[in-house]
Amino acid sequence: MTLVKIIRLVFFALTVGLASVANADETSVGFSMNCNSIEGEGQTASVLSGHELNSFREKAANTLTHLSCRIGMDHPVELCHLNNRWPLDAETWLIQTYCGHGAYLISSAWFIESHDGVAPIQLKYPTFDWSFADSEKQIIESIIATGFTRTSVLTESFFDPSTQLISHRSYCCAGDLSTNIQWLAKDGAFKLQNLEVDGIQNGNLSPQLVVQYD
């Protein structure tokens, strides 16, 4: 075998090897989603899908792991529509990406992407200590504010670009116990806007705590 043929065979083997590595890398992203099927099918301009979605989730993989989001490719196609992005200004995007789902609540992780990279947003909300004079009859004795906490993962959440509001809702017991929170995107920050909490289980959707913030 001539030297030229040997060189060609070695080059071919290297090419095949590199292609195999590239294919492995493309399919081994732990947080990729099988959303290629909705790409170009008339989805709204904000929906992330296909290569763009997988590329973003790869960049955010470490954070998604920290947030305990689901790993794998077994997601129903309807969950692909929970991966969205909206421009906040000329250099900044607000991004929602699917995180996980349970019996009736779907969670998503929220990020800011800019020239500085990708970072989870930190949405502040208040916490309260509920005391009941009669827990069986669900009679409230007091509701005491205990401080604030932050989150980057929301349930049943969406962003309305016309109002610049992020909305979050968590609930159980057919919605009888629920928390609704809204944040306003303004001047590069997310400000707590509205809070409603229904903390008693009495068969009615009747929040006992309603707060509007300036």
Which is more confident, 30 or 213? 213
Where are the alpha helices (H) located in the chain, listed in sequence order? 3-27, 50-59, 61-66
Q: Is the pLDDT of residue 3 over 90?
A: no
Compute, in degrees rounded to 10, the torsion defined by CA atoms 161, 162, 165, 169.
-90
48-91 per-position pLDDT tens digit? 988 899 899 999 999 999 999 988 656 677 888 889 999 999 99
Percent share of the chain, pLDDT over 70: 78
Domain spans in the chain, listed from the N-terminal domain onward: 1-29, 31-121, 122-214
| Whole-angstrom distance, CA of residue 29 vs CA of residue 19 | 16
Q: Nearest 5°: phi and psi at 93?
A: -120, 140
| Whole-angstrom distance, CA of residue 59 vs CA of residue 119 | 10
pLDDT given at position 15:
38
Which is more confident, 194 or 142? 194
Q: Is the pLDDT of residue 29 over 90?
A: no
118-160 per-position pLDDT tens digit? 999 999 999 999 888 876 667 888 899 999 999 999 999 999 9
Angle, vertex CA 37, rays to CA 94 and CA 27, nearest 5: 80
